[in-house]
Chain A
Amino acid sequence: MAAAARASSSWTDPRAVTAADAVRRVTLAAFRCYGQLRLEVDRGPVVLTGPNGAGKTALLEALSMLAPGRGLRRAALGDLARRKPGGEAPTPWSVAARVDAAGGEIALGTGQDPASRERRVLRIDGEKIRGQKALAERLAIAWATPEQDRLFLDGPGARRRFLDRLVLGFEPGHAAELAAYEHCQRERARLLAEGSGDDAWLSALEDGMARHGIAVAAARRAVAERLDAAAASGAGPFPAARLRMSGAVDQALASMPALAAEDRLRDALAAARAQDAAQGGAAHGPHRSDLEVRFAQKGIAAAEGSTGEQKAMVLSIVLANARALAAERGRPPLLLLDEVVAHLDRARRAAFADEIAALGAQVWLTGTDDDLFHGLRGRAQFFRILDSSVTRT
């Protein structure tokens, strides 16, 4: 009885949510505009304000490097290193953090490998990890950035990338499957371009494309379905998004077992060799699929929404993702939301603040002015950034 009462009361009090992926301390060295920075934060939402060029996005980007991949600006590794005024060679950058993660607190460290700077090293509790899956298993990070404003207007590649980032939260092995698929695809393209015509070699690569490609497509489909369900519930004044994957492999997965879909892709690739040799690339595979998003209340494609509606739609998908992940892992992901609030109208801004509080996630928010975050007063920690120095307010 007492336990039940405690459990139910913890729902009503977001501060009681302790199981969320959250940064507790972060240390940057030679990262973008930061020479040295150490910041300690509580588990709750974090608001960063400051003028243009102060270093808000750079700080979120640093946190995004705690996830596999190239971070929220998809920057080249070398571009992250702090440029020195005299034009001297930059020192290698690093980001270290203590994080509340799945399975307990961990120390994460990442940065340019001093020995070979095109490589990124990742350490968990001081140990170098091989493969980034181990990291994705412990810590889920999702983000929204102003660059995603064009998500529905750009080509399908951007939407697949956007979804892949979210899939990683549910399927930590997704990045490896994707990399394996793309590797086989590149190898096959090279063989076809050289016209060496070794059938056994081509079949071996097409087998890899089929196995990894169907794994990639199946994971995307499953997560698109979960996001679709989560976005339909709890939309509030946000546009409810409907999501689904469209493409030949996705259709195959909808109508037959995965192994049959593999066989089909393998056969399709083998049959398309001449065509692919002539045109480059591959005519079949999950790289041909698209994430289709519709605006449920209005029954239109997301691309047909107004500018503000499209921005709100991206945000609503990212929040739906956080809710779905919280339900699945028992803890919401770390959320990095760069400049998302400025574009929301007053009603959505208030709803957004409530949603953030209810989620119990550590959400990092940026904006130029404190006023934008009125609804989060007393529910978040506020920092002011000026010329790359950060002070709690």
Chain B
Amino acid sequence: MTGPELARLIQLLARLPGLGPRSARRAVLDLMRRREQLMLPLAEALREAAEKVVACRSCGNLDTTDPCAICADPRREPGTLVVVEDVGDLWAIERSGATRARYHVLGGVLSALDGIGPDDLDIAGLLRRVRDGAVGEVILALNATVEGQTTAHYVADRLAGLGCRVTRLAHGVPVGGELDYLDDGTLIAALKSRRSL
């Protein structure tokens, strides 16, 4: 019933997390209704982001510059790295304004059953940064999920002997809780009362 243009758009949107075919159809209808105010600006924004945004080769953050604005910011504490699972968690911590440290994005968590091993995460990059730079503390701000905690344990193990302090978020973060869902207050408290591993 829908022409190939719309069918393709629906198909593409339906691949986004949290959007099934049903909500994709709704979104497309809504876009069509608001062609000028929403659809064209969205298309423009998508193109611009696709062309300009890159992953920072140092920390994995997404930005229009490489190194990213956080890595390039001289006011950031140079001696502390906050390790997160993905960029969404980095954003959550940035939003809370809880820390002036820099970040390191692993890009996922260990999962043998999903075939995701240490080589699929940016652990080598983290070890390199710690060895090369003057990093005094690594804060493991991984999610309090089972995979997150396994990964935290693993990373701590690999960092042992490199001469930096390794801490993890104190679990004000509820088990099964994901950083992205926490309110800023909880995050700040968790960062303040982090524990040595």
- Are B154 and A201 interface neighbours, CB within 8 A? yes
Minimum CB–CB distance for B86 against chain A, Å:
18
Question: B112 contacts the other chain (Cβ, under 8 Å)?
Answer: yes
Question: B175 contacts the other chain (Cβ, under 8 Å)?
Answer: yes
Q: With the chains together, A188 CA to B113 CA distance in Å?
A: 9
- Are B150 and A115 interface neighbours, CB within 8 A? no
- Are B150 and A187 interface neighbours, CB within 8 A? yes
Minimum CB–CB distance for B16 against chain A, Å:
13
Pick the residue among B20, B113, B118, B175 that contacts A187 (CB under 8 A).
Answer: B113
For A131, the closest partner residue in chain B by CB is B176
Minimum CB–CB distance for A198 against chain B, Å:
7
The interface bits of chain A over 234-255 (1 if a CB of B lies within 8 angstroms of the residue's CB, else 0) are 0000000000000000000000
The interface bits of chain B over 89-130 (1 if a CB of A lies within 8 angstroms of the residue's CB, else 0) are 000000000000000000000111100011000000000000
Question: B146 contacts the other chain (Cβ, under 8 Å)?
Answer: yes
Question: A180 contacts the other chain (Cβ, under 8 Å)?
Answer: yes
Please name all residues of chain B whose beta carbon is closer than 8 Å to the beta carbon of A198 when the two chains form the complex. Answer: 117-118
Please name all residues of chain B whose beta carbon is closer than 8 Å to the beta carbon of A346 when the two chains form the complex. Answer: none
The interface bits of chain A over 203-217 (1 if a CB of B lies within 8 angstroms of the residue's CB, else 0) are 111011000100000
Please name all residues of chain A whose beta carbon is closer than 8 Å to the beta carbon of B111 when the two chains form the complex. Answer: 187
Q: With the chains together, A173 CA to B177 CA distance in Å?
A: 13
Residues in A172-210 with C-beta less than 8 Å from chain B: 173, 176, 179-180, 183-184, 186-188, 190-191, 194, 196, 198, 200-201, 203-205, 207-208
Dominant secondary structure of chain A at its interface with chain B: helix
Question: A130 contacts the other chain (Cβ, under 8 Å)?
Answer: yes
Q: Assuming the A-B contacts A130-B176, A201-B154, A204-B153, are A180 and B146 also in contact, with contact meaning beta carbons closer than 8 angstroms in the complex?
A: yes
Question: B75 contacts the other chain (Cβ, under 8 Å)?
Answer: no
The interface bits of chain A over 349-376 (1 if a CB of B lies within 8 angstroms of the residue's CB, else 0) are 0000000000000000000000000000
Q: With the chains together, A115 CA to B24 CA distance in Å?
A: 12
- Are A176 and B117 interface neighbours, CB within 8 A? no
Residues in B150-191 with C-beta less than 8 Å from chain A: 150-151, 153-154, 157-158, 175-176, 181
Q: Assuming the A-B contacts A196-B117, A198-B117, are A204 and B150 also in contact, with contact meaning beta carbons closer than 8 angstroms in the complex?
A: yes
The total of chain B residues at the interface (CB under 8 A) is 20
For B175, the closest partner residue in chain A by CB is A176
Please name all residues of chain B whose beta carbon is closer than 8 Å to the beta carbon of A208 when the two chains form the complex. Answer: 146, 149-150, 153
Minimum CB–CB distance for B172 against chain A, Å:
16
Pick the residue among A131, A186, A203 that contacts B157 (CB under 8 A).
Answer: A203
Please name all residues of chain B whose beta carbon is closer than 8 Å to the beta carbon of A190 when the two chains form the complex. Answer: 112-113
The total of chain A residues at the interface (CB under 8 A) is 27
For B181, the closest partner residue in chain A by CB is A130
Residues in A93-140 with C-beta less than 8 Å from chain B: 115-116, 130-131, 133
- Are A205 and B158 interface neighbours, CB within 8 A? no
Q: With the chains together, A380 CA to B188 CA distance in Å?
A: 53
- Are B110 and A204 interface neighbours, CB within 8 A? yes
Q: With the chains together, A130 CA to B180 CA distance in Å?
A: 13
- Are B149 and A201 interface neighbours, CB within 8 A? no
For A211, the closest partner residue in chain B by CB is B149
Please name all residues of chain B whose beta carbon is closer than 8 Å to the beta carbon of A186 when the two chains form the complex. Answer: 112-113
Please name all residues of chain A whose beta carbon is closer than 8 Å to the beta carbon of B149 when the two chains form the complex. Answer: 208
Q: With the chains together, A188 CA to B181 CA distance in Å?
A: 29
Q: With the chains together, A196 CA to B20 CA distance in Å?
A: 37
Please name all residues of chain B whose beta carbon is closer than 8 Å to the beta carbon of A196 when the two chains form the complex. Answer: 117
For B20, the closest partner residue in chain A by CB is A115
For B152, the closest partner residue in chain A by CB is A204
Minimum CB–CB distance for B148 against chain A, Å:
11
For A188, the closest partner residue in chain B by CB is B112
Please name all residues of chain B whose beta carbon is closer than 8 Å to the beta carbon of A187 when the two chains form the complex. Answer: 110-113, 150
Question: B22 contacts the other chain (Cβ, under 8 Å)?
Answer: yes
Please name all residues of chain B whose beta carbon is closer than 8 Å to the beta carbon of A204 when the two chains form the complex. Answer: 110, 150-151, 153-154, 157
Q: With the chains together, A130 CA to B117 CA distance in Å?
A: 27
- Are A201 and B118 interface neighbours, CB within 8 A? yes
Please name all residues of chain B whose beta carbon is closer than 8 Å to the beta carbon of A188 when the two chains form the complex. Answer: 112
For B22, the closest partner residue in chain A by CB is A115
Please name all residues of chain A whose beta carbon is closer than 8 Å to the beta carbon of B176 when the two chains form the complex. Answer: 130-131, 133, 176
For A187, the closest partner residue in chain B by CB is B112
Going nearest first, the 10 A-B pairs with the smallest beta carbon separation are A204-B153, A190-B112, A200-B157, A115-B20, A204-B154, A187-B112, A180-B146, A204-B150, A131-B176, A183-B146
The chain B residues found within 8 Å of chain A, CB to CB, are 20, 22, 110-113, 117-118, 146-147, 149-151, 153-154, 157-158, 175-176, 181
The chain A residues found within 8 Å of chain B, CB to CB, are 115-116, 130-131, 133, 173, 176, 179-180, 183-184, 186-188, 190-191, 194, 196, 198, 200-201, 203-205, 207-208, 212
20 A-B residue pairs with Cβ-Cβ distance under 8 Å, sorted by A, are: A115-B22, A130-B181, A131-B176, A176-B175, A183-B146, A184-B150, A186-B112, A187-B110, A187-B111, A187-B112, A194-B112, A196-B117, A200-B158, A201-B110, A201-B117, A201-B154, A204-B110, A204-B153, A205-B150, A207-B150
Q: A131-B176, A203-B157, A205-B150 are in contact. List 12 more A-B contacts (CB 8 A).
A: A173-B175, A180-B146, A184-B150, A187-B110, A191-B112, A194-B112, A198-B117, A201-B154, A204-B150, A204-B151, A204-B153, A208-B150
